[in-house]
Structure 1
Amino acid sequence: MHFKIFWVFFKVGMLGYGGGPSSIPLVHKEVVDTHKWMTDEAFQDALAIGNVLPGPIATKLGGYIGYLQKGWMGLANAVFATILPTIILMIILLKLFTEFKDLEWVQGMSNGVMPVVGVMLAILTYEFLAKAKARTTWQFIILFTLIAFLLLVVLEIHPAIIILVIVVFSLFRKEGRI
């Protein structure tokens, strides 16, 4: 099991070029679809809590999922596996990139990554929206989106504060206090 945990998060670290947003769909695919370590709902909860906390999302998800599977050793294994490829690749790629940065194909390759990440995020968003629709109504989803937009863009409230309020509200709602 420790090797599986290491391999899953090592791959996420290797293939998650572009940071957290690009690694989230990879983690989801591995832990929910491939290995069935979590349900979609549990992953969404872990992702929501992980987004409230500071730091890279891949290591937070890796640590949490590793802990669920094999305790503290699983946590350490998953976090190490997540950051090891980055350490190795950054040393190698920075050296290569500085040597070849002016070549047209290198610039084109760098520009080609963004649309791929955008499509991966769009697919994950669609899947989460479909799951949310099963639990609520379109009116609530639209109202929630408009309120979030107002708070984030118009009132410029930090996303972490909004997420924290939603988490607290959800906890009180589950306990029947609201």
Structure 2
Amino acid sequence: MQTVVGNDKQQMRKNVRRSLLPLFFHMSDQTESVAKASREALLVAAKLLKWKRLKHLTRTQQTGRIGECLLVQDRSRVEEYLSQSLPYLKDAQVTLREAALKFIGLAARHLGDESEEKLSEICNALQLLEKDAELSVSSLAAQTMLTLRSPREQPTSGWTLWALCCWPCKAGQK
């Protein structure tokens, strides 16, 4: 891999960034060997991109936080991530549909106001899932639709969340 990277590092990083979301979703695959291989590949990708936070979250199997990490690490790719998520809403595996739904709910909060067309596309896809035979999927789709239709707020920065969470602890340690 290092030889390939050395030849065309920029193109390789671009390809690796494109593979992050599918690898993340397949960490939820029902076939354990696929989930494990995806986790290992995501770890290699994080090392290649030098994304320490993603590497830590993957290594410690904090799957629930990896989606947010991807969005924060590369904010310019939110619409692309959402487009990549849509086919997973039709996947035969419930776990992959759920992973895509959770990520879409998270990613939609990072969309700018100019992304109304993308938001409409997502809502159309979610409407179909509200009738999914799997109750967990249909409930999650309905919940995500409610979130998307409510007035959107800009995501709070991690620094602000840290300050709200940890400041009283630090202040009491004077």
TM-score when scaled to structure 2? 0.30
Greater relative contact order structure (CA < 8 Å, 6+ sep):
1
Q: Larger Cα Rg: Structure 1 or Structure 2?
A: 1
- TM (normalized to structure 1)? 0.30
Return the structure number with greater helix share: 1
